Structure 1
Amino acid sequence: MRLFESRPGDDGLPGPERALAVLALVTGTLMAVVDTTMINLALPTIAADLDVPASRAVWITNLFQVVCAAFLLVFAGISELVTRRRLYLFGIGIFVAASLGAALSRNLETLLVFRACQGLGAAATLSIGPSLYRAIFPSRLLGSALGLSALVVAGGYAAGPTLSGVILSFADWPWLFALNVPLGMCSFWLASRALPREKPRKGSFDVAGALLSMVMLASLFIAMDAVGHAVPIWQSAGWALLAVLACGGFIIRQRRAPYPLLPLSVFSEMRFTLAVSASGLAFIGQGLTFVALSFFYQEQMGFTPLETAWLFTPWPLAIMLVGPIAGRLADRINPSVLSSTGLGLLIVGLIALALVDESTGVAGSLWRTALCGIGFGLFQPPNNREMMGSLPLERSSNVSGVMSTTRTVGQSFGVAIVGAALALGWPVQVTLWLGAATTLLALLASVARMPLARRALHARRASSAGH
């Protein structure tokens, strides 16, 4: 394969070592993504078996997400001190041990403890995943590598619900967690052998920045999750205020710290800042759409949860098909043109979904969802290439942490919008129009960086010709 061919002057790992390292990342990423989607579908089953109300069972998902979100930036910073290889191994080890503990849990409290540990392990691996792709692959193949990453994530999202339904049809829910153990052990073994070794950075760790980051992201996530639930408004506002205060303290700390957790200078590169903005807004649209359609398909069109999962399948399948192609093209042509085209298709798909009614039928829903997947698949790998390629190699860990945090916060904010809309009694279709509006803002950010990306592409070609 082209991805694993070596050329003179290539940075990254040699071809054969590259293949093993990628396999380690693929198995680890699949484990985390499939686990999340499987457990979401299994929540009613787990709640019934543990004899707990649904309002408490949702914390099986929420706690995982809160812990994961809170530690993304922290682990991205820690990776510079302990190396990404060691942090990845730590994350896989914690995730596997916690999965075994979750499989053996017989009450909600114990299960929640191990879900929090799973969130910790997932944060360690996901925070540095994109930067490891940059360390493994030569710069000339960065877009193709990130396209492969998008394929793996989309494949996990597509397979998770179906796999969960199949397992629960003949086995109990603990087997959903037990499945992670052999897959995680395989990923750990591969990572220990193949991930690149590097020298740790010397210097101190920004402890104050890390604490402020955790408070900021955790309180923001809790505030967004509280929106639309039967929670007093002052509680949601209190968490939001805490997030704002922690954000202000975090910014002040990053300007003064000798070794900041997230150097704010990275945002002076407008290609990076605009790509991050486009990513966050697009993920709001995607997260919003997934939740809104779940309610629409089940409550208004009468589909079962498993049938609803099948109706979503064209979205990740389209990303699996289009993402690698878009990533490969991003190595050759202006990535912002590809991203902007993808966002345009995504907007058309979201508008088409907003026009769905009870008379549309399955086929009408499927092509609309597939169009959204094609658009998102065309957008994400080139946009990720812009984020990762717009800054120096030594900032890869910081970029990776920002990418993961942007994705997590964007999706969570989309869910919060749906919760607020439902609490206010708005029709589900209104939230889909809001998703199209946020995606339009993402398109504007993407178009704004086209001249910058074009100049960067010309510079890259000139550098390649010089070599």
Structure 2
Amino acid sequence: MAQTTPTQQQPAPDVRPWPALFALCLGFFMILVDTTIVTVATPAIISDLHADVNSVVWVTSAYLLAYAVPVLITGRLGDRFGPKRLYLIGLTIFTLASLWCGLTTSIEMLIVARVFQGFGAAMMTPQTMSVITRIFPAEKRGQAMALWGATAGVATLIGPILGGILVGALGWEWIFFINIPVGVIGFVLAVRLVPTLETRMHKFDWVGVALSGVGMFLLVFGIQQGHKYHWSAWVLTSIIGGLVVFTVFVLWQRVNRQEPLVPLSLFGDRNFSISSFAISSMSFTATAMGFPVMLYAQLVRGDSPLESALLFVPMAVMSIILAPIVGRFTDKVHPRVLTGGGFAITAVSIFALSRVLTADAPVWHILVAFGLLGIGMAGIWAPLAATATRNLPMHLAGAGSGVYNATRQVGAVLGSAAIAVLIDSRIAAHGLSGGAEPDGQLQQLPLPVRAPFSAAMSDTLLLPVAILALGFVSVLFFALPRHLTARNAAVSDPAAARQPATSPALD
């Protein structure tokens, strides 16, 4: 069992939590930008490295897969060896892998380099949530988590815009080279501003690590390769095998009496469970939607990478404007209010976007849909992050942050894999598999095939809408957080409110 000391329950008096948080958010912002920055560079990478769509989607899937699988164990490693140390090691690996990505000359080596990049990101991410939980007092933790969640949302939106600027001005390699100076600055700031926290002894569930990694790889590989290989027996075997291994993983977590990789007791808190599911649906959407939109903009509209990336500007602007406003309300209102509205608006905006992806659509139709999308996403990222960890005990900070981030990355991995399959299948369904799919030449499609190609991209956006509907339904079941329950009790019965809370809010 993990061992804790009383001094670990409260932040040290000399810790400056806000500067530490800003230093961590810089690195966190960088690694999340890399989950979506490749989408705008997809046609350029196809052309320069002579790859097909499915191979370039693997550039993102490999990163997300290497990010998602180790994140469960790296949260525990941070508890054992210190979150600051793990964060700095991960940042170093990520920065060096970024240099490797930019220097590679083949699609295969780019995918391998992205695996190392994802592993570095997996070492960093759980440490950010764990440090926040441990250095902020409970009454300030919601605001801190709101900033962390807003960073995740804004980074996901900024990725395509930054990618478009860099690809258009300097080439696709610079979407990776840009990480080098940011990584160096982030390293210096983390060394100076992030405190060295006490560690805890852990027993590591290596069997769980192996089962989760094998299960995730088999599932994602099978889904993404399914259409290409006509859902052959070995593809179906891979998918079914992944599901079986995941089932074994859950059973192992249940019977492991020492220290399981995923403490199932975490899911006894309803809000943690719902937040984990909801963030996976949001990550699925954020990762999946970029591919069809970028292919449409550059191959149908004939936009440059920069011009196509500018389509995302209204979304990013609205999210940035609303992030601090949402953050102030995160500690004050029921989480279902913000997240329910966020999921509903996001689903409506992506459905509207799917309707305006036509060969002759006015650009302002697309910009309005993206602006609405930014409003919706602002109500999702920060409130979910704050709600997920608010009631967790301190000794589960590492495990909880690892599980939450793992579910977020699982959603992104599945979104990347599923959208690749759907793009291929919808292109074929519209009779274009012979001449409309990009195959190594970056150029605007011939006029006769632009309309059916647009229809194919439009069809693919209906998948994120369906996933968002599931997220919307889930957040309606949020419980009133404990701090709001205590505040309400203080208003109605001040004497009762002074009694210590002894159990999490599970109702």
TM class by shorter chain equals: 0.7 to 0.9
Larger Rg: 2
Please give the secondary structure, in 1, of the residue aligned with 2:380. Answer: helix
* Conserved 8 A contact 2:225-2:421: no
- The TM-score, its normalising length taken from structure 2, stands at 0.80
Task: Specify whether residues 297 and 230 from structure 1 end up closer, same or farther in structure 2 by C-alpha distance, changes over 3 A only.
Answer: farther
**Alpha-carbon distance in 2 for matches of 1:432, 1:113:** 29
CA contact (8 A) 2:280 2:408 kept: yes
Equivalents in 2 of 1:287, 1:55: separation in Å?
15
Matched residue type, 1:130: M
Structure with a larger share of its residues in helix: 1
**Does residue 485 of structure 2 align to residue 458 of structure 1?**
yes
Task: Identify if the C-alpha distance between structure 1 residues 276 and 33 changes in structure 2 by more than 3 Å, giving closer, same or farther.
Answer: closer
Q: For residues 409 and 12 of structure 2, what CA distance do their matches in structure 1 show?
A: 29
Match of 1:216 in 2: 215
Task: Tell me what 2:322 maps to.
Answer: 322
Residue-by-residue CA offset, 1:305-346 (whole Å, 9 max, x unaligned): 433322123223322222232122111221222111222222
Counterpart in 1 of 2:331?
A: 331
1:66 match: 65
- Superposed CA offset, 1:54-85 (max 9, x none): 65455433322221122121212322222222
| 1:283 CA displacement | 3.2
The reply to whether residue 432 of structure 1 matches residue 461 of structure 2 is: yes
- 1:216: Cα distance to partner? 1.9
1:33-66: per-residue Cα shift (whole Å, max 9, x none)?
A: 3344444434554555556666545543332222
Change beyond 3 A, Cα 1:135–1:297: same
TM-score, normalised on structure 1?
Answer: 0.86
Aligned twin of 1:193: 192
Q: CA deviation at 1:103?
A: 4.0
> Secondary structure of the residue that 1:201 maps to in structure 2?
coil
The AA in structure 1 aligned to 2:183 is: G
Gaps of 5+ in 1: 1-9
SS of alignment partner, residue 261 of structure 1? coil
Show the counterpart of 1:364: 365
Q: 1:238 & 1:391 partners in 2: Cα distance? A: 38
The structural deviation recorded for 1:357 is 5.0
**Is 289-298 or 395-404 further displaced after alignment?**
289-298
Question: Cα RMSD (Å) of the superposition?
Answer: 3.1
Q: Write the mapping of 1:146-295 to structure 2, written as runs, cut at 5 A.
A: 146-169=145-168, 171=170, 173-230=172-229, 232-257=231-256, 258-295=258-295
How far 1:188 moved relative to its partner?
1.7
Which residue of 2 is the match for residue 375 of structure 1?
376
The 1-side partners of 2:421 and 2:100 are apart by: 35
Point out where structure 2 has 5 or more consecutive residues left out of the alignment: 1-8, 431-455, 501-507
Deviates more, 1:422-431 or 1:340-349: 422-431
Matches of 1:175 and 1:434 in 2, distance apart?
Answer: 31
8 A contact 2:57–2:420 mirrored in 1: no
Mapped partners of 1:287, 1:30: distance in 2: 15
Q: Which amino acid is the alignment partner of residue 440 of structure 1?
A: A
Partner of 2:309: 309
Question: Which whole-Å CA distance do the structure 1 matches of 2:65 and 2:237 have between them?
Answer: 17
| Residue identity matched to 1:380 | W
Q: Residue 283 of structure 1 contacts residue 414 of structure 1 at CA under 8 Å; is this kept in 2? A: yes
Q: What residue is the counterpart of 2:448 in the other structure?
A: none
Q: What's 1:7 paired with? A: none
Contact 1:143-1:331 within 8 A present in 2 as well: yes
Structure 1 counterpart of 2:355: 355
Q: How many residues are paired up?
A: 456
Identify the residue that residue 402 of structure 2 maps to in structure 1: 401
Letter in 2 for 1:330: T
Residue 5 of structure 1 is matched in structure 2 by none
Q: Which amino acid aligns with 1:278?
A: A
Q: Which amino acid aligns with 2:338?
A: L
Correspondence 1:445 to 2:444: no
Distance 2:306 2:379 in 1: 27
